[in-house]
């Protein structure tokens, strides 16, 4: 990508914002190396990364970044077998723990952020390194006494020697013979040896070794001869401790060096993730969105804002190039925003191809440009004796030699700084050449000849920046479709030009041949502005209507959901009541049997019992009310479309359409249904179905298909074994297909013959994992629970 354009358009300033947002040294380095790409696949991948991080920052309470140290220098030391110091080991220990947290965090959210999880999958498992370093350092980053057996022994020895030496020193201080020699009766340390402050005048009277003097020279710090050996032993133990710690660090260094590649790759993977989240943070700070990579080679930036202008002051503009025209010619007053509009397009194109979100509205799109060339600003080169015109011409010649059909070219004040007639002629020739090459071009000019050329030439469109004639100030709004006036008189008047000079200038201008054209342009632009304002007002009303519609839809869904919850709750209560009623009925029947053994004949008694059972079986439950669904227009139905099958109560995919019937694939089963039997699915159902399919792909177990309401219990009381077995077989098939387990078979207690027949049948079924009698509260011996 053209470095000159990157500098002129302000790409490096945006990049510096990204660097400031990157939390670690490595992520900042990655941000500094960021450059626009011309490969569409690379750009798509970069944008996808940014989008996932953008969603993550908005959805999640926190992300596990921050506090990462750059351990690459320490890793290089370990690789070269240079013993790491304590801080190096602590930094690696801390990073390894953070790496693990990041890896686990994104592994748990793989379904939501697959690209980020894929990046995090490059982070290794450093459990062993974490464990080994944790054995050496405590939570305060101090070396543990038990970091090794030898270190524990040495530190125990040092403690004993310190106590012994302090006891010797205390004895010296308590010696009455030496009391007058001491400046203070206290013990201090010099050169890692215990010493006593002695007055200068008694230096020869007190036996010992001088280690230091006070600043005034009045006090000497003397090691008494009586404790020299004790100090020597203590010093030797401390030296041995230092050497043992070095051995421990060498072992840790060898451990880290053995996992150098994994640690280095993981460090880079974490840095890359931090960089991706820095891009997302930049998008949030700019209130930016993801543009679409245009397959139709269209520039369409809706309400684009220049990212380097204060958000309070910036004026958004819609920029469109492509389709009927590839060259956009911008005219209008000076300081009116022509150059800003051009720089906005160029900078946003660079940001887009760097994988950054753009400060534009949803629906914006940009093609991938091979390169971006710009000739903006005064590049006068005194050292080469080049005028402003010559400098611009030199840059335009370079652009003409190197540009192609996939390039974007931005030229400010094309061919200005020379004779207007000659400049216009050269500018028109340049535009023709660029059009022939197929480049995308945005140029600014004040030349009327170029305005006329754009009006009369297919593939070139006029545009202008607005100027408010009432306030005599520019509005910085870009209008595409018509040329604008330079408003030199209005601007000069606002800046204080004497009236007599302006009057004479206007008189001279009125004699020009193209004065009528200027008046027409002014009128057309005023009409265009009014139409745009009306269009914006209509769009605002439409957006408000859509918001109201969406709010009403959500409210309706809430009411429907709440109503369904109430119905489901009532249904569950009814099921419980029915079960309790059946149990109570069984109890009543048993009591009837006991009471009627003598008063009624066997035939009459059985008849009464059977009537009671039939009455119980006729108890019905209300069906759950199904939500209203929108029908599908048969004309818009197509293969591969997901639909809801009403009769099967589930989603399916259309495979074939046969007139008024449709072949639908429903989780591995192909069925043919009528078109009126299918409806539009809810988005939540489609999402749930995809999640279920993904879970099923990770498991090889069979997933049953539910084709309608299926009972979870079967009552066969009063039937014989041969009568009940076919019903049991159908009941178990339906329950197995629906995925219910366990289910209940109510056979009653009686003589136990029916229960034995049921159990004998269940023993022969391969899909029955186990069966057992229900607990006493739910039927006891009269009910069998069947598990698949």
% of the chain surpassing 90 pLDDT: 32
User: According to the annotation, is 337 in a ligand binding site?
Assistant: yes
The predicted structure's pLDDT at residue 281: 95
Give domain status of residue 627, yes or no: no
User: According to the annotation, is 471 in a ligand binding site?
Assistant: no
Q: Which token pair is 494?
A: 């606002």
Does 603 share its domain with 558?
yes
Asked if the model's pLDDT at residue 266 lies above 60, the reply is yes
**Tens digits of residue pLDDT in 360-399:** 999 999 999 999 999 887 554 434 445 566 777 888 889 9
User: According to the annotation, is 377 in a ligand binding site?
Assistant: no
Q: In what order do the strands lie in the sheet with 193-199?
A: 188-190, 193-199, 219-224, 208-213
Give domain status of residue 488, yes or no: yes
Q: Phi and psi (nearest 5°) for 509?
A: -70, -30
The predicted structure's pLDDT at residue 471: 59
The predicted structure's pLDDT at residue 703: 43
Does 349 share its domain with 467?
yes
Cα–Cα distance, 54 to 284 (Å, whole number): 7
Decide which of 699 and 511 is more confident.
Answer: 511
Does 166 share its domain with 216?
yes
Q: How many CA atoms lie within 13 A of 678 on its CB side?
A: 28
- DSSP string covering 215-251: TTSSEEEEEEGGGHHHHHHHHHHHHHHHHHHHHHHHH
CA 788 → CA 57, 79, 171, 727, 771, distances in Å?
Answer: 44, 58, 86, 17, 9
State the Cα angle at 80 between 75 and 84, rounded to 5°: 55
Does 34 share its domain with 120?
yes
Q: Which token pair is 265?
A: 């790759």
Residues 388 and 417: beta-carbon distance below 8 Å: yes
Q: How many CA atoms lie within 13 A of 559 on its CB side?
A: 7
Residue ending a domain, among 583, 617, 651, is: 617
Cα–Cα distance, 355 to 37 (Å, whole number): 9
User: According to the annotation, is 599 in a ligand binding site?
Assistant: no
User: According to the annotation, is 335 in a ligand binding site?
Assistant: yes
The predicted structure's pLDDT at residue 519: 53
Strand partners, 442: 328, 410
712: exposed, middle or buried (C-beta count within 10 Å: 0-12, 13-18, 19+)? middle
Does 27 share its domain with 165?
no
User: End-to-end CA distance of the chain, in Å?
Assistant: 65
Residue ending a domain, among 554, 587, 617, is: 617
Does 296 share its domain with 392?
yes
Q: In what order do the strands lie in the sheet with 407-411?
A: 371-375, 407-411, 440-444, 327-331, 460-468, 473-480
Give domain status of residue 357, yes or no: yes
Three-class SS state of 594:
helix
Decide which of 160 and 183 is more confident.
Answer: 160
Cα–Cα distance, 578 to 712 (Å, whole number): 13
Residues 720 and 745: beta-carbon distance below 8 Å: no
Give domain status of residue 524, yes or no: no
Cα–Cα distance, 632 to 656 (Å, whole number): 15
Instruction: Identify the CATH number of the domain in which residue 779 sits.
Output: 3.30.1370.110
Pairing of strands 292-293, 219-224: unpaired
Asked if the model's pLDDT at residue 565 lies above 80, the reply is no
Q: Phi and psi (nearest 5°) for 293?
A: -75, 115
Does 358 share its domain with 477?
yes
Give domain status of residue 521, yes or no: no
Give domain status of residue 626, yes or no: no
User: According to the annotation, is 199 in a ligand binding site?
Assistant: no
Cα–Cα distance, 586 to 567 (Å, whole number): 28
Strand partners, 372: 408
The predicted structure's pLDDT at residue 732: 84
Asked if the model's pLDDT at residue 503 lies above 60, the reply is yes
Mean pLDDT, to the nearest integer, of 156-182? 81
Residue among 358, 356, 361, 359 at smallest CA distance from 278: 356
Highest mean pLDDT among 110-114, 352-356, 600-604, 715-719: 352-356
Cα–Cα distance, 781 to 747 (Å, whole number): 9
% of the chain surpassing 70 pLDDT: 80
Does 182 share its domain with 271?
no
The predicted structure's pLDDT at residue 612: 61
Instruction: Identify the CATH number of the domain in which residue 430 sits.
Output: 3.40.50.300
Which position has the token pair 């020193």? 169
Residue among 731, 665, 669 at smallest CA distance from 703: 669
Q: Has this prediction a pTM greater than 0.75?
A: no
**Tens digits of residue pLDDT in 434-470:** 999 989 999 988 777 888 888 888 889 888 887 665 5
Strand partners, 462: 329
Mean pLDDT, to the nearest integer, of 567-595? 69
Cα–Cα distance, 311 to 100 (Å, whole number): 39
Lowest mean pLDDT among 256-270, 412-426, 606-620, 651-665: 606-620
Give domain status of residue 702, yes or no: no
Lowest mean pLDDT among 131-145, 298-312, 743-757, 765-779: 765-779
Which position has the token pair 């926190």? 62
Does 418 share its domain with 470?
yes
- DSSP string covering 769-780: -EEEEPPGGGTG
Look up the domain containing 728 and give its range. 713-787
Does 368 share its domain with 487?
yes
Cα–Cα distance, 580 to 590 (Å, whole number): 15
Highest mean pLDDT among 170-174, 415-419, 614-618: 170-174
Residue ending a domain, among 472, 498, 524, is: 498
Does 209 share its domain with 301?
no
Mean pLDDT, to the nearest integer, of 325-353? 87
Q: What is the mean pLDDT of the chain?
A: 81
Give domain status of residue 628, yes or no: no
Read off the DSSP letter of residue 375: E
CA 663 → CA 184, 553, 642, distances in Å?
Answer: 103, 31, 12
Cα–Cα distance, 484 to 406 (Å, whole number): 29
Q: Which token pair is 647?
A: 């009769």
Instruction: Identify the CATH number of the domain in which residue 156 sits.
Output: 1.10.1420.10
Per the structure, the count of domains in the chain is: 6
Does 353 share its domain with 466?
yes
């Amino acid at each position: 990508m053209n470095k000159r354009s990157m500098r002129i358009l302000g790409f490096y300033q945006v990049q510096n914002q990204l660097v400031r947002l990157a939390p670690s040294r490595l992520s900042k380095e990655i941000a500094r190396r960021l450059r626009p790409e011309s490969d569409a696949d690379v750009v798509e991948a970069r944008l996808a990364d940014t989008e996932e991080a953008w969603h993550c920052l908005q959805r999640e309470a926190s992300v596990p970044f921050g506090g990462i140290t750059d351990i690459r220098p320490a890793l290089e030391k370990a690789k070269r077998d240079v013993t790491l110091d304590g801080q190096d080991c602590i930094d690696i220990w801390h990073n390894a723990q953070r790496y693990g947290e990041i890896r686990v965090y994104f592994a748990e959210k793989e379904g939501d952020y697959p690209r980020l999880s894929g990046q995090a999958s490059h982070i290794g498992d450093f459990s062993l390194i974490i464990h080994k370093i944790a054995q050496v350092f405590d939570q305060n980053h101090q070396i543990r006494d038990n970091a090794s057996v030898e270190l524990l022994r040495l530190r125990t020895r040092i403690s004993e020697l310190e106590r012994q030496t302090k006891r010797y020193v205390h004895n010296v201080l308590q010696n009455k013979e030496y009391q007058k020699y001491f400046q203070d009766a206290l013990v201090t340390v010099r050169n890692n040896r215990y010493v006593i402050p002695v007055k200068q005048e008694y230096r020869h009277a007190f036996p010992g070794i001088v280690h230091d003097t006070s600043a005034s020279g009045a006090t000497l710090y003397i090691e008494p001869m009586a404790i020299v050996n004790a100090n020597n032993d203590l010093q030797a133990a401390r030296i041995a401790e230092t050497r043992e710690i070095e051995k421990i660090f060498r072992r840790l260094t060898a451990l880290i060096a053995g996992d150098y590649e994994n640690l280095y790759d993981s460090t880079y993977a974490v840095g890359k993730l931090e960089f991706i989240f820095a891009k997302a943070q930049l998008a949030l700070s700019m209130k930016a969105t993801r543009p679409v990579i245009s397959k139709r080679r269209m520039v369409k930036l809706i309400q684009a804002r220049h990212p380097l202008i204060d958000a309070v002051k910036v004026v958004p503009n819609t920029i469109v190039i492509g389709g009927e025209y590839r060259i956009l010619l911008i005219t209008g007053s000076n300081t009116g925003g022509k150059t800003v509009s051009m720089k906005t397009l160029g900078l946003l194109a660079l940001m887009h191809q760097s994988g950054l979100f753009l400060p534009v509205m949803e629906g914006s799109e940009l093609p991938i440009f091979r390169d971006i060339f710009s000739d903006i600003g005064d590049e006068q080169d005194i050292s080469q004796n080049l005028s402003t015109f010559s400098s611009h011409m030199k840059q335009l010649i370079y652009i003409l030699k190197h540009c192609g059909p996939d390039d974007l070219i931005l030229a400010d004040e094309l061919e200005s700084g020379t004779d207007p007639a000659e400049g216009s002629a050269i500018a028109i020739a340049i535009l023709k050449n660029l059009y022939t090459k197929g480049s995308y071009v945005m140029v600014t000019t004040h030349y009327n000849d170029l305005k006329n050329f754009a009006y009369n030439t297919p593939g070139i469109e006029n545009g202008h920046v607005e100027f408010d004639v009432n306030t005599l100030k520019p509005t910085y709004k870009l209008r595409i479709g018509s040329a604008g006036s330079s408003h030199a008189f209005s601007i000069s008047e606002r800046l204080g030009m004497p009236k007599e000079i302006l009057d004479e200038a206007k008189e001279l201008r009125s004699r020009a041949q193209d004065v009528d054209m200027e008046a027409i342009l002014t009128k057309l632009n005023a009409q265009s502005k009014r139409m745009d304002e009306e269009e914006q007002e209509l769009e605002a009303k439409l957006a408000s209507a859509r918001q109201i519609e969406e709010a009403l839809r959500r409210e309706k869904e809430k009411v429907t959901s709440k109503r369904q919850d109430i119905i489901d709750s009532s249904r569950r209560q009814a099921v419980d009541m029915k079960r309790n009623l059946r149990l109570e009925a069984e109890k009543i029947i048993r009591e009837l049997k006991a009471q009627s053994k003598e008063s009624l004949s066997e035939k009459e008694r059985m008849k009464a019992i059977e009537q009671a059972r039939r009455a119980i079986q006729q108890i019905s439950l209300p069906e759950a009310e199904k939500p209203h669904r929108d029908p599908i227009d048969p004309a818009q139905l197509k293969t591969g479309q997901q639909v809801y099958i009403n009769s099967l109560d589930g989603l399916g995919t259309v495979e074939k359409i046969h007139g008024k019937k449709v072949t639908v694939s429903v989780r591995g089963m192909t069925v043919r249904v009528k078109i009126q039997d299918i409806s539009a699915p809810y988005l939540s159902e489609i999402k749930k179905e995809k999640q279920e399919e993904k879970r099923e792909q990770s498991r090889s177990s069979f997933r049953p298909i539910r084709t309608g309401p299926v009972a979870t219990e079967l009552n066969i009381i009063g039937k014989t074994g041969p009568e009940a077995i076919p019903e049991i077989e159908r009941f178990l098939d339906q329950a197995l297909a629906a995925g219910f387990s366990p289910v209940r078979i109510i056979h009653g207690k009686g003589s136990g013959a029916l229960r034995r027949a049921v159990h004998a049948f269940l023993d022969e079924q391969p899909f029955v994992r186990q069966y057992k009698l229900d607990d006493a509260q739910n039927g006891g011996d009269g009910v069998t629970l069947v598990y698949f």
